[in-house]
Amino acid sequence: MRVHGTSKELPLLSNLLFNRQTSVTMQLALVMTLCFGLVVSDTEIIAIPEDGDISKAFLDAHNIARANVNVPDLEWSNELSAYAENYAKNCVYGHSYGPYGENLFAGYPKQTDKVTLATNAVNSWVKEIQNVDLPTWNCFTRFDKTTCGHYSQVVWKDTQKVGCAIIHCKTETRNILNNYVICEYEPSGNFIGEKPY
């Protein structure tokens, strides 16, 4: 069963049976989208060329984390970046239900330095290592902590490619541009019963 965190975080779904291709993340994403969806009034899409500073920042931040646990570097994928951008332009903070592994990051106000935003997004996912019992790879949740599913996707040993998008979305509830970052991963990770590395 593929899941963003662990079954400990999903007590209401623990009795459901899923195969390796069925994502609990996809089901949770529907709930998140319904609960946290944004009403969009304006967007700004940031193009991320393969050889640019922004893609390098995304790739470097991922590969530093991966090097720390001795897993192979990721390669940048324009296809995954295009997929992320196509979904992100809807400005709905929730998973895409797509065929790839996926990490999301959002915040405000609009950050103009996209290289820093890319690095900060990935680093926020990497910080989730604090929420992992490394010998068992169990994730845990505290009042001041979140899960570890973002981190485990960043360092998932079988993942080979990453592509990301940055979108700035202005909502009708806040008259400011929000930062919205999506990274897609192929092959995806986060399978129950499997450790990332």
Q: Buried b / exposed e across 124-133, counting CB within 10 Å, b at 16+?
A: bbbebbebbe
Write phi, then psi, for 148 (nearest 5 degrees).
-125, 10
CATH number of the domain within which 125 lies: 3.40.33.10
* Domains: count for the chain: 1
User: From CA 177, how far away is CA 171, in angstroms rounded?
Assistant: 7
pLDDT at residue 195, as a whole number: 93
pLDDT in tens, the chain (197 residues): 444 433 233 322 222 233 344 333 333 333 333 333 333 446 676 767 677 999 999 999 999 999 999 999 999 999 999 999 999 888 888 899 899 999 999 887 767 789 999 999 999 999 999 888 888 888 876 555 568 999 999 999 999 999 999 998 876 666 666 888 999 999 999 998 899 99
Q: Is 121 exposed, middle or buried (0-12, 13-18, 19+ CB in 10 A)?
A: buried
Domain holding 116, by residue range, is 7-186
Q: Compute CA distances 119 → 41, 101, 105, whole Å.
A: 27, 19, 11
pTM: 0.75
Tell me whether residue 2 is in a domain.
Answer: no
Tell me whether residue 13 is in a domain.
Answer: yes
Comparing CA positions, the residue from 171, 188, 16 lying closest to residue 93 is: 171
DSSP state of 115: H
pLDDT at residue 4, as a whole number: 46
What is the tally of helices (H) and strands (E) in the chain? 5, 7
Write phi, then psi, for 26 (nearest 5 degrees).
-60, -40
Query: Do the beta carbons of residue 100 and residue 185 sit within 8 Å?
Result: yes
pLDDT at residue 27, as a whole number: 32
Tell me whether residue 192 is in a domain.
Answer: no
Tell me whether residue 64 is in a domain.
Answer: yes
Tell me whether residue 197 is in a domain.
Answer: no
Q: What share of the chain is helix, strand, coil (3-state, %, to 5)?
A: 35, 20, 40
